[in-house]
Amino acid sequence: MPSLWSWLLASRSSAAAASRSLSRVRPTDPEWPTQASWDQLGQKISGKLIKVQSPLAECVQAPSSPNSLHIFKELKNPYYLGDEVGLTQSLGWVDAWTSRPSVYAVAAESTADVVAAVNFARENNLRLVVKGGGHSYQGTSNAPDSFLIWTRKMNAITLHDAFVGAGCDGQHAPQEAVTVGPGAIWGQTYKAVTTKGGRYVQGGGCMTVGVAGLIQSGGFGSFSKAYGMAAASLLEAEIVTADGAVRIANACTNPDLFWGLKGGGGGSLGVVTRLTLQTHSLPEFFGAVFTTIKAMSAGAFRQLIGKVIEFYCKSLFNPHWGEQIAFRPGNVLAISMVFQGLDQQQAETIWRPFFEWLAASPEDFSIVAEPKIMALPARQFWNPEFLKKVPGLVLADDRPGAPEANIFWAGNLGETGQVLHGYQSAWIPASLLQEVQQKNLADALFAAAQHWRVTFHLNKGLAGASPEAIAAASDTAMNPLVLDAFALIISGAEGPPAYPGVPGHEPDLVTGRQDADAIEKAMNEVRKLLPNTGSYLAESNFFDQAWQESFWGSNYPRLLAVKEKYDPDGLFFVHHGVGSERWSPDGFIRSM
């Protein structure tokens, strides 16, 4: 059923559409650029044009060849995936999308390369795709028959002591900041800012996610309850818009575009070629608390859920704490929380009452993974040398000659090269933490966990955050519901690397659909409490029909106006991106 937004747009834009090109060209169309045109583009950008070939093509043709076996092994290495122009971090999503290589790509090294590519795409009416870290769950950094701008090589990082945005002289005080190229990933950025620079920048949890993609989709990291949404720390961006112009966007110059870039969604407003982010002083310690508990009966599990909500509300609902509490089938509760600004002893004191409560009922609760509480100097938190010494915490890029700093959290391995089976999320308002509501919340979580695991990501909602974090997030395009949510609840499932046409490695459609069904049932239990909640596009359901409302809520009309101003013809299209309701699902045919 068309959404309200589609209907409104249809009535507004039917006249305008008549004067526009209604479909983009594919390689099979006579209008596809000639070889001479491609060669000319290649010369203009000094040979940075690539004819894209996915390594998976070889796996389809010769699945048992040594090279194919090697490729399948490397599909579990996020750095390999990131360095391959024809691959993405997820290989697909059952019944949603499959990772497909573009026909040509520009491996951009400068803003001028990006300008040349944007102009070429517009002049030749091509389906344009932008890829940074390649982590989109929605499959928005790949498309068949497309032309790709790939920013991987634009990864310079520079720290500033006193940054003032262009045009902001006299209006904004100088502040400490970091400027990052659009191809940089968070691991590289943390190394420069925290390990080397002794400062803090708000990014995401996964070290191989791209900075530009995460900032434009809102972005949350473990410590977002203290430092806010990552997008809210954007001070300035350089962006190439659909007309080929290089624009600065900050609070003083093109402020409408600046606002739209903060959570308005990647790949929709232009190609970001540089980002400057606010940095903060580091606290003395970061730390983590891990444990897994199994309740011995359904009744005990329900009691445990009630207790953990009460404990969270009383002791952890503040800027010190973030990350996850998972509720799993089999009456299992898994805690993986992180903290900032507390030392070991303070963290232990906070958790003691909870662990004492558990210990008092050994007949009801068994500890599957013994509680671990550890604080470490904040500067070591992303230091590859330090992390490699902690058993089981990180894995390394195993390719010969790979940089020593190429590490990733072992906890992200399951998502590397995955085929998603299902994924849904919803913000949980802080009103459900009120004493009278806690019972309803616990009942819903208990019912949900009978179907599939559901996990509170307590750093992906800003209720309980610092006032500065909330104020900064309210000046972004994100759905304002994020300000009142204490958590994002996520339910997901995935299978190992698989690709259609590779014998023995085909996506498991049967299991995929069963898992998706179980996720739907689990999330329906949560939605009974929250019929009108939202989510954010980076970690959300591909099939969400009400995506405009979910991702941007009351901000959608303003975001659409920014889109219309800077990209009226829709050169930039992504699935469920602003303005995408005007296009066919593959982004080739303009429907209104």
Ligand X SMILES: Cc1cc2nc3c(=O)[nH]c(=O)nc-3n(C[C@H](O)[C@H](O)[C@H](O)COP(=O)(O)OP(=O)(O)OC[C@H]3O[C@@H](n4cnc5c(N)ncnc54)[C@H](O)[C@@H]3O)c2cc1C
Nearest Cα to Cα of residue 570 among 12, 24, 4: 24
Q: Which is nearer to ligand X, 24 or 451 (CB)?
A: 24
What token pair was written down for 288?
A: 């983590």
Question: Counting contacts by CB under 6 A, is residue 140 touching ligand X?
Answer: yes
Question: Counting contacts by CB under 6 A, is residue 98 touching ligand X?
Answer: no
Q: Which is nearer to ligand X, 164 or 289 (CB)?
A: 289
**Considering the complex, what minimum distance in angstroms separates the CB of residue 101 from ligand X?**
14
User: Which one among 48, 127, 131, 582 touches ligand X, defined by CB under 6 A?
Assistant: 131
Question: Counting contacts by CB under 6 A, is residue 375 touching ligand X?
Answer: no
Task: Answer for the pair 184, 155: CB distance below 8 angstroms, yes or no.
Answer: yes
Interacting residues with ligand X between 482 and 511 (CB under 6 A): none
Question: Counting contacts by CB under 6 A, is residue 288 touching ligand X?
Answer: no
Question: Counting contacts by CB under 6 A, is residue 250 touching ligand X?
Answer: no
Interacting residues with ligand X between 176 and 205 (CB under 6 A): 182, 204-205
User: Which one among 134, 165, 341, 429 touches ligand X, defined by CB under 6 A?
Assistant: 134
Question: Counting contacts by CB under 6 A, is residue 417 touching ligand X?
Answer: no
Question: Counting contacts by CB under 6 A, is residue 267 touching ligand X?
Answer: yes
Nearest Cα to Cα of residue 99 among 66, 137, 127: 137
**Considering the complex, what minimum distance in angstroms separates the CB of residue 267 from ligand X?**
3
- Per-residue buried b or exposed e for 545-574, using 16+ beta carbons within 10 Å of the residue's own CB: eebbbbbbbebbeebbebbbebbeebbbbb
Mask of contacts with ligand X, 535-564, x by CB under 6 A?
---xx-------------------------
Task: Answer for the pair 153, 183: CB distance below 8 angstroms, yes or no.
Answer: yes
**Considering the complex, what minimum distance in angstroms separates the CB of residue 575 from ligand X?**
8
Instruction: Identify which range of 32-40, 61-69, 132-140, 493-501 contacts ligand X by CB under 6 A.
Output: 132-140
Question: Counting contacts by CB under 6 A, is residue 534 touching ligand X?
Answer: no
User: Which one among 13, 54, 99, 141 touches ligand X, defined by CB under 6 A?
Assistant: 141
What's the burial of 169, exposed, middle or buried (CB within 10 Å: 0-12/13-18/19+)?
exposed
Question: Counting contacts by CB under 6 A, is residue 206 touching ligand X?
Answer: yes
Nearest Cα to Cα of residue 70 among 55, 52, 82: 55
Given 3-state DSSP classes, what are the helix, strand and coil percentages for the chain, each rounded to the nearest 5? 35, 25, 40
Instruction: Identify which range of 26-34, 64-72, 133-141, 328-336 contacts ligand X by CB under 6 A.
Output: 133-141
Instruction: Identify which range of 22-30, 65-73, 125-133, 348-356 contacts ligand X by CB under 6 A.
Output: 125-133
Instruction: Identify which range of 65-73, 209-217, 326-334, 435-443 contacts ligand X by CB under 6 A.
Output: 209-217
Rounded Cα gap, residues 264 and 424, in angstroms:
19
Task: Answer for the pair 435, 500: CB distance below 8 angstroms, yes or no.
Answer: no
Q: Which positions ≥6 away from 384 have C-beta within 8 Å?
A: 191, 195, 394, 404, 405, 407
Question: Counting contacts by CB under 6 A, is residue 135 touching ligand X?
Answer: yes
Rounded Cα gap, residues 106 and 136, in angstroms:
19
Question: Counting contacts by CB under 6 A, is residue 127 touching ligand X?
Answer: no
First to last CA, the chain: 16
Q: Reduced to 3 states, what is the DSSP secondary structure of residue 50?
A: strand
- Identify the bridge partners of residue 160 per DSSP, sorted by sequence position: 177
DSSP per-residue codes, 282-306: PPSEEEEEEEEEEESSHHHHHHHHH
The residue count for binding ligand X (CB under 6 A) is 35
User: Which one among 242, 272, 375, 498 touches ligand X, defined by CB under 6 A?
Assistant: 272
CA distances to 218, 370, 421, 427 from 537, rounded to whole Å, are 8, 35, 17, 12
Task: Answer for the pair 114, 273: CB distance below 8 angstroms, yes or no.
Answer: yes
Instruction: Identify which range of 35-43, 129-137, 437-445, 521-529 contacts ligand X by CB under 6 A.
Output: 129-137
**Considering the complex, what minimum distance in angstroms separates the CB of residue 140 from ligand X?**
3
Residues that bind ligand X (CB under 6 A): 89, 130-137, 140-141, 151, 182, 204-206, 209-210, 212-214, 216-217, 219-221, 266-267, 271-272, 412, 415, 538-539, 574
